[in-house]
A and B are shown apart, each in its own frame.
Chain A
Amino acid sequence: GQQLNQSPQSMFIQEGEDVSMNCTSSSIFNTWLWYKQDPGEGPVLLIALYKAGELTSNGRLTAQFGITRKDSFLNISASIPSDVGIYFCAGQNRYAGGTSYGKLTFGQGTILTVHP
């Protein structure tokens, strides 16, 4: 089946620094999603990307849909303590057809720690 490799697995940064993380796939996706999960809660959707090459921002977050359709990147600028959490990428092939339509494949997550 499809696999996503997310890196880095964890990051320890100082408040104010910029953060970059990425996901790579062994196969093509038509949609990339980025989620953030706070401790004890469910993942929350941050950004959705639908076209190869697309660059989308949500406040201090910027995500890009790789031109090869096999990767995606998330950048966080000027990190703050509340950015702490686990960030997940997820890919979807909406042309999978039949009852596979809508299925997401998740990366393993990037644990972000921000020191004040």
Chain B
Amino acid sequence: DVKVTQSSRYLVKRTGEKVFLECVQDMDHENMFWYRQDPGLGLRLIYFSYDVKMKEKGDIPEGYSVSREKKERFSLILESASTNQTSMYLCASGRGQVKETQYFGPGTRLLVL
């Protein structure tokens, strides 16, 4: 059974803190993605990675960075958390090109105070 796991389901941080969100997949997928989900806005792509150490900006990369040192792990970093980064963060992974399925983790709900 395919599995994408995220390190935390809920996270509370203070403004200005550095925040790490971790995602691990066990399907040997080349591609990994970070989205944020907000009511009325749907899912918006922050960053994606198509190989180890490779990354591409998505639609809303400002205020975020990512790291992919191993194939199975993709980290999202908020260098200095702000209240407008309070959101649900979803990680996904997939193989190959656009017609392939993306497999999603359960999400991390981040609250920045």
Q: Decide whether A and B are members of one complex.
A: no
User: Residues on B close to A: CB < 8 A?
Assistant: none
User: Residues on A close to B: CB < 8 A?
Assistant: none
